[in-house]
Chains A and B, each alone.
Chain A
Amino acid sequence: MTTPLSPGAAAPRPAPPRAARSRRSWTGWGFLGPFVAVFALVFLAPIGYSLYLSLFRDRLIGGNTFVGLDNYRQALGDERFWAALGRISLFLAVQVPVMLGIALLVALALDSGRLYGRDFFRVSIFLPYAVPAVVATLMWGFMYGTRFGLVGDVNDALGVSLPDPLSPGLVLASIGNIVTWEFVGYNMLIFYAALRVVPHSLYEAAQIDGAGQLRVITAIKLPAIRGALVIATIFSVIGSFQLFNEPSILQPLAPNAVTTDYTPNFYTYSLSFNGQQHNYSATVAIVMGLITMAIAYVVQLRGMRKGG
């Protein structure tokens, strides 16, 4: 919860006790060392290694040669990469607002105290978060199926023919639905936790001033949870840019609709493991990482500025 933790965020800077300062230096490292060692091995080293890889290229003649920024030049002119990035941007622009919107509405409903069975709602809507992406995708993939899925059942029962969710035109929306299903509850919980610590005296003051529910939401609740909204948006953006599991599991079920360069991450994977183009794959991953970080940064900056 926010209030309990806000001192936590500020405290560590002045915190270290005077007595500990005398033994400044090695004790702390003894505890932190193991984490840092593994962190260096699985975070820093791969980043360094992929930077190195991105500057080389395997050639038939001459073997592994230094090519400078050639790989980057190739990536920036790579239509398949841009197509994947465009697809994911469209996904991001639609799925993230829908998901966060639903999560926010449910969180506001829970927080309003007007629901019957609030705890049941909270736990049940969060439950999909515990389902692995693989299982979620398999489940939805089957349900989408016109053969033995729910879509087929509805078609039979009502005598209609719904469009196939796994057709090329709809598969992106279908993936969006799976991701939304997985993470609505998670985001709802983040918003709800932030709402819970808004001081009630504010609501009472608003009530005395004659403010309606809607006004309380727009004037008090939403500004109060801005931090949570920004964080949830950043996490969702990062998550969307990394999209891989859902399209890759759906591929056997929808081979015509999902290509191996469907998302940037899928493309990197295919380059490396089907095409053996490790150097180029590392380059695309770096470009993608930079774009993700830039967008996360912009979201944070905008969120904070509005807050200022």
Chain B
Amino acid sequence: MAPPAVTASGPSAAVPSGRPRSAPRLRAPRRRHSADRPRRSVLLTLLTSLVLLYSLVPLVWLAFSATKTQEGLSRSFGLWFDGDFALWDNIGRTFTYDDGVFTRWLLNTVLYVGLGAGGATFLAVLGGYALAKFDFPGRRAVFAVVIGAVAVPGTALAVPTFLMFSRMGLTNTPWAVIVPSLVSPFGLYLMWVFATEAVPAELMEAARIDGAGEVRTFFTVALPLLAPGIVTVLLFTMVATWNNYFLPLVMLKDPDWYPLTLGLGSWNAQAATAGGEAVFNLVVTGSLLTIVPLIAAFLLLQKYWRSGLAAGSVKE
């Protein structure tokens, strides 16, 4: 970024990387400098295209494969169509196979993502706001412990959490998946940094003088200002819960409570078990259906995750 933009983005313009207003402002000086910038290079574009191909070819393979029957998968070339176009048939069978268990998994996933990611975001927003805007005993200690916890390998916790939850009778229920998803140290950190800049103390003070209580101040003054940060945290907690595999694997025995990831894994493993029916075309189609919503969300909400990811990862 050109110097003018950097000076302009002092404390007041600090957070708005997600606000639409800032986009043209940040870009304008860039263009001015393009004159003394090197010309575009075909060679470099081609070299980078190798990485692009590496990233996209598997997804293209998946899209083509979802249009094939089980036999078509083995007889045709992976990156083109087979003779029969079986996509609609595959989608239909994916949803009806095994009494429509895929639909059930989809609804479970939506439940886990809705309550888990939604709750995690809500707790992170409240907590980040508290850390940023209030002084209270133990504030620093809380922060140190939470940040330290990020370094604890999450999977190392899964087994003890399972044993604890099984004592409490929570395993094999949706709560076993939802409750651990409710804590996002990364989200807390992001909201803390974000709230520090986005909510001016003067505004909070003004609201208090007007007689608003703390809860009302939070909801009417702070929350709207925090919106861009909230979307970022929500997006990343959504990805984390949607993609979660280890936690539900440990917690759930009953396939009726599986999320999509676990269900697809079980369909895949089914072929390896004695007498199990191989349904690779359904695994492939189900995989495609699983990633479509997330890819759509990422493409639609680009401006948020770009700034959000940058914010959290660079400064943590």
Chain A interface (Cβ < 8 Å from any Cβ of B)? 1-9, 11-12, 15-17, 19-21, 24-32, 34-36, 38-39, 41-47, 49-50, 53, 102, 105-106, 109-110, 112-117, 121, 123-136, 138-143, 147-150, 152-153, 157, 181, 184-186, 189-190, 193-194, 196-197, 199-201, 204, 207, 213, 227-228, 231-232, 234-235, 238, 241-242, 244-245, 248-249, 251-253, 255, 265, 268-269, 272-273, 278, 281-282, 285-286, 288-289, 292-293, 296-297
Given contacts A109-B48, A249-B265, contact A28 B134 (CB under 8 A): yes
Interface residues of B in 274-316 (CB under 8 A from A): 280, 283-284, 287, 290-291, 294-295, 297-299, 302, 306-307, 309-311, 313-316
Asked if B159 and A285 sit within 8 Å, CB to CB, the answer is: yes
B163 touches A53 (CB 8 A): yes
CB atoms of A121 and B52 under 8 A apart: yes
- Whether B196 lies near A15 (C-beta < 8 A) is yes
Answer yes or no: B115 CB below 8 A from chain A CBs. no
Tell me the nearest residue of chain A to B155, going by C-beta: A242
- 29 A-B contacts, Cβ less than 8 Å apart? A1-B9, A4-B13, A19-B201, A35-B123, A42-B157, A42-B182, A47-B160, A49-B160, A49-B163, A50-B159, A105-B51, A114-B40, A114-B41, A114-B45, A127-B56, A127-B295, A132-B242, A135-B290, A141-B268, A143-B58, A148-B74, A189-B310, A193-B309, A193-B313, A197-B1, A200-B2, A227-B314, A234-B151, A289-B153
Whether A194 lies near B78 (C-beta < 8 A) is no
* A8 and B52 contact, CB distance less than 8 A: no
User: Which residues of chain B are near A255, meaning CB under 8 Å?
Assistant: 272
Are B290 and A124 interface neighbours, CB within 8 A? no
The answer to whether A132 touches B1 (Cβ under 8 A) is: no
Bound Cα distance A220, B304 (Å): 28
Chain A residues positioned under 8 Å from B58 (CB to CB):
128, 136, 139-140, 143, 181
Would you give the shortest CB distance from B27 to chain A, in whole angstroms?
11
CB distance from B164 to the nearest CB of A (A): 5
How far apart are B88's CB and chain A's nearest CB, in angstroms? 21
Q: How large is the interface on B (under 10, 10 to 19, 20 to 34, 35 or more residues)?
A: 35 or more
On whether A112 and B44 interact (CB within 8 A), knowing A17-B201, A189-B309, the answer reads yes
Closest B residue to A297 using CB positions: B151
The dominant DSSP class at the A interface is helix
Q: Is the CB of A196 within 8 A of B79?
A: no
Residues A282 and B160 in contact in the complex (CB < 8 Å), given A19-B205, A31-B127, A38-B123: yes
CA of A15 to CA of B145 in the docked complex: distance in angstroms?
Answer: 20
Nearest-neighbor residue (CB-CB) of B205 within chain A: A19
Q: Once the chains bind, are A109 and B47 in contact (CB under 8 Å)?
A: yes
Q: B33 contacts the other chain (Cβ, under 8 Å)?
A: yes
Known interface pairs A106-B51, A153-B78; A31-B163 also in contact (CB < 8 Å):
no
- Contact residues of B with A, CB < 8 Å? 1-3, 6, 9-11, 13-15, 17, 33-34, 36-42, 44-45, 47-48, 51-52, 54-56, 58-59, 61-62, 65, 73-75, 77-79, 123-124, 126-127, 129-137, 139, 142, 145-146, 149, 151-164, 179-180, 182-183, 185, 188, 192-194, 196-197, 201, 204-205, 208, 214, 218, 239, 242-243, 245-246, 249-250, 260-262, 264-265, 268-269, 271-272, 280, 283-284, 287, 290-291, 294-295, 297-299, 302, 306-307, 309-311, 313-316
Shortest distance in angstroms between A197's beta carbon and chain B's nearest beta carbon?
Answer: 6
Shortest CB distance A71–B (Å): 14
| Complex: A8 Cα to B132 Cα, angstroms | 9
How many angstroms between the C-alpha atoms of A134 and B244 in the bound complex? 9
In the complex formed, the residue of A with least CB distance to B44 is: A114
* Inter-chain contact B17/A4, CB cutoff 8 Å: yes
